[in-house]
Structure 1
Amino acid sequence: MRFMPDRHELLRIFLGGTVWEDWDQAPIAADASSRRYLRLTHDTQAVMVMDAPPETGEDIEPFCHIANYLESAGLAAPKIYKSNLENGFLVLEDLGRTDFARALQKDPSQEPGLYEAATDVLIRLRELDAPPSVTMNPDVGGEMTRITCEFYVNDPALADEMAKEMAAHLRDLCGPPNILALRDYHAENLIWRPEYRGLQRVGLLDFQDAFLAPDGYDLASLLRDARRDVSEDTVKEVIAYFAKYTQQDEGTVSAAVACLSVQRNLRILGVFARLIRMQGKRRYVQMLPRVWSHVMQDLQHPALHRLNAVLRDRLPEPTDPIIMAWTE
């Protein structure tokens, strides 16, 4: 039997002798991984703690590298105040409590402005020399969709055909994989900080899985969010804005974003289905219809007609009977 360390005791030791050891601790909602987050507070001060157990496969070193890279580029990644790589603990700057999703729930009229600010960050990222990283080339991008046919639909023949066609579309419609993509660039991972100016208004979280991808990957992540609907007016405005300020043809950007959205959301269908089926994480059930709709909507882009022909009748809608069959 594998020994599982007492994370509470390890955290107590990690914080021992620091200014934060007696601060109040409050858990923050967990993500899809085995990481957990705590907010430590004292009077008006606050920091965040990341607890990423190495025994579950977590590795905080990539987060540290990317955080330092982003901060050096003038972006609002959290400063790292204290780290223990061996045990998987970080004390981080608290960037704020209002993510984009909360800000927009309170005032939906802010959507165009917030999404433009988030797009400014992506424009800045594409100007930088990307650090060495894992690369999502077309073949890798195609292979990443296979999980859909393992957990969402049981169709090995479709897995081969989909991976091949997806890779071909990525090759035809998207640029080279030379842009650092933060990968989970969506409303719940972006902190809105209106008290700051410029790029510092957008706090960045959950970027430890960043990789090199074609231009527009994070734009697809932002606009085709698994957790909230972005208005089509905002989608069109943001694509036009991105195209203008990166000096690209708007139609080219639109096709690339649609292609990358389909690749990304096919994979998310598989990942969410796995979380539901293998780990009993039922909260992902409510997100499946939106993710499926993103795939179906972006398959309608004229540039994706070949992929649409492959998938349109073989990727069923996530209805209750289908989901119930997973847990029987």
Structure 2
Amino acid sequence: MENGNATISVTLDLPDVSAVRRFAGWIAPRLNKGDWLLLSGDLGAGKTELARCIIRQVFGDGTDVPSPTFTLIQHYESRDIKLLHTDLYRLESSEEILELGLLDETDSIVLVEWPEKLGTYVPTEAVMVHLEDIGPTRQCSLSVNSDNADFFQGLDDFIDREKVLADFLEKNGYGQAVRKTLAGDASRRRYERLELDNKRFILMDWQALPNDNDAYKAKVFLSNSVTDFRNICAYLIRCGLSAPEIFAQDDAQGLLVLEDFGTLNFTHSIDAKDPHLPIFYHETIMALAALYHHADTENPEQARQFDAKVSSPVSYDKAVILTEIQQFIDWYMPSQGKTLPDTALTKWEEIWASLVGKLEAMKIRDVMMLRDVHSPNLHWLGNRQSIRRVGFIDIQDGIAGHPAYDVVSLLQDARRDLPEDYEGRFKALFVAETGLDASDFDTAYNIFGVQRNLRILGIFVRLSKMQGKSSYLQHIPRVNGYIKDGLAHEALADLREWFKTYVPEVLEI
């Protein structure tokens, strides 16, 4: 790191497109409205590629990002942020900057290619990135005014992590693989697709953070370890299901090389109106039924290794259920401008304690409850047989729990509308395959349906406010619809009255 003339600079290598994408993933969250990012370098140095990667980090992988060479400016906007991408190559005078109105964009992020054309109009607080091809690699120099030195916070960790990843891949025979960054999810896990010798693999990068003491995660037993992922993969495979095979691992560093189930998940099949979709959901229900039957021979509580501080068997019990629905109270209610009186909160806790009591009275044995059995986490593996044709991913948070929960997760998809007959049809199939009492299962299904979707409302609001992921908010009407349907069940009459009193709009959808 150099510090001279009130400018601080850091240089790093970006040897391929994947490295550019990962760097974009580091820099994009640090850009706020009013920030200018100046991208300089010769023709072909990678300025537009870096800009495109940053824009897709901000607005999503599917964002169309044409070059602004001829239009001069491309505008992007979401609920939370605006961004301008400009290419000044064709400007003949810096005075033309005034005509473009760039200096008036105080509430936008501004990405500038060919910033040399700005002349004296370079903002003092601008972040400068210079790209240069040097031999087999591309070198990136990142510079800021010394007053903006905080921008570099975390960059050393990013550079160090890049070396850890490279060493891990080299050690395990994947050093020559072509790496392609994949879209992330709501977690802090990162994924890459590795292509080597005409084969494809997935790199999971799940770095343990030294101060990751999230009290909520601890209370509801959300995983913080690739070890949990490996153990649950092994459990599902023993049950005759398909989970990713592990080809290389470093648990201490949070790194795995996994089997690649491909790019087409159930979400794509729903969007494409795939005529085979009923088969996909039929086999998924059969797979969940197999988990139920396997729990009779292997205790699911033993499938996941929990922190040594957990001294008793872990399950999705009353404490976890009540903690999860607190997301609705803590995040969704304030987003609607509502403050509940103490009497309402007391009644809320009493109602949920009663509902959990109804679940416990059913005496239904726990299964390996995967928690997120929904379309983005399911892949159709057509070259396999029977229930192994359904590939399960994102399973690290699995916990011993009620069999109705994952059926709810599957059939009340928070992000996609399923055909109207699926819910009744596949609920009935699960009951038939497991031999569970139909009335008890229907009661449990509706209790968990309301509980899970209340939690989701809170999480969607939290992701929007804390991580800027406002795209989740578009799904709130669908989730509210599931809650309204569940509240119509007779077992939830008291909760329905509570909503009539304190949040009536949920019942008016």
With normalisation by structure 2, the TM-score equals: 0.59
Runs of 4+ in 1 over 6 A off after TM superposition: none
Distance 1:82 1:120, change over 3 A: same
Task: Report matched runs for 1:215-234 at 5 Å.
Answer: 215-234=403-422
Could you list the runs of 5+ residues in structure 1 that have no partner in the other structure?
319-328
1:274 to 454, 459, 462: 462
* Contact 1:166–1:263 (Cα < 8 Å) also in 2: no
The match for 1:193 is 381
Distance 2:353 2:166 in 1: 47
Distance 1:110 1:254 in 2: 27
Q: Give the residue type in structure 1 aligned to 2:324.
A: M
Distance 1:25 1:312, change over 3 A: farther
The match for 1:168 is 354
* Contact 1:25–1:39 (Cα < 8 Å) also in 2: yes
Residue 141 of structure 1 and its aligned partner are, at CA, apart by 0.9
Q: Give the residue type in structure 2 aligned to 1:202.
A: V
Task: Report matched runs for 1:300-315 at 5 Å.
Answer: 300-315=488-503
SS at match of 1:162: helix
The match for 1:325 is none
With normalisation by structure 1, the TM-score equals: 0.90
Distance 1:203 1:108 in 2: 17
2:321 to 108, 118, 141: 141
1:150 to 330, 336, 340: 330
* Contact 1:48–1:91 (Cα < 8 Å) also in 2: yes
* Contact 1:261–1:294 (Cα < 8 Å) also in 2: yes
Task: Report matched runs for 1:258-269 at 5 Å.
Answer: 258-269=446-457
SS at match of 1:16: helix
Q: Give the residue type in structure 2 aligned to 1:194.
A: G
The match for 2:157 is 4
Distance 1:182 1:92, change over 3 A: same
Q: Give the residue type in structure 1 aligned to 2:452.
A: R
The match for 1:34 is 188
Residue 103 of structure 1 and its aligned partner are, at CA, apart by 1.9
Could you list the runs of 5+ residues in structure 2 that have no partner in the other structure?
1-152, 213-223, 305-313
Distance 1:317 1:290, change over 3 A: farther
Residue 43 of structure 1 and its aligned partner are, at CA, apart by 5.0
1:21 to 155, 175, 189: 175
In the alignment, does 2:393 pair up with 1:205? yes
Residue 316 of structure 1 and its aligned partner are, at CA, apart by 6.6
Residue 17 of structure 1 and its aligned partner are, at CA, apart by 3.5
Residue 232 of structure 1 and its aligned partner are, at CA, apart by 2.8
Distance 1:93 1:317 in 2: 45
Distance 1:237 1:271 in 2: 29
* Contact 1:139–1:167 (Cα < 8 Å) also in 2: no
SS at match of 2:157: coil
Q: CA deviation digits over 1:91-111, x for unaligned, max 9?
A: 001122221111232234333
Residue 317 of structure 1 and its aligned partner are, at CA, apart by 5.5
Identity of matched residues, %: 32
* Contact 1:296–1:312 (Cα < 8 Å) also in 2: no
Distance 2:504 2:397 in 1: 29
Residue 313 of structure 1 and its aligned partner are, at CA, apart by 4.6
The match for 1:45 is 199
* Contact 1:82–1:92 (Cα < 8 Å) also in 2: yes
RMSD of the TM alignment (CA)?
A: 2.1
**Of Structure 1 and Structure 2, which has the larger fraction of its residues in strand?**
2
Distance 1:300 1:61 in 2: 41
In the alignment, does 2:469 pair up with 1:288? no
Distance 1:230 1:200, change over 3 A: same
Q: CA deviation digits over 1:219-259, x for unaligned, max 9?
A: 01001111111223111100111111111233322221111
In the alignment, does 2:90 pair up with 1:90? no
Distance 1:189 1:208, change over 3 A: same
* Contact 2:208–2:225 (Cα < 8 Å) also in 1: yes
Q: Give the residue type in structure 2 aligned to 1:63.
A: F
* Contact 2:301–2:399 (Cα < 8 Å) also in 1: no
The structure with the larger Rg is 2
Moved more, 212-221 or 176-185: 176-185
Distance 1:222 1:113 in 2: 14
Residue 215 of structure 1 and its aligned partner are, at CA, apart by 2.0
Distance 1:313 1:294, change over 3 A: farther
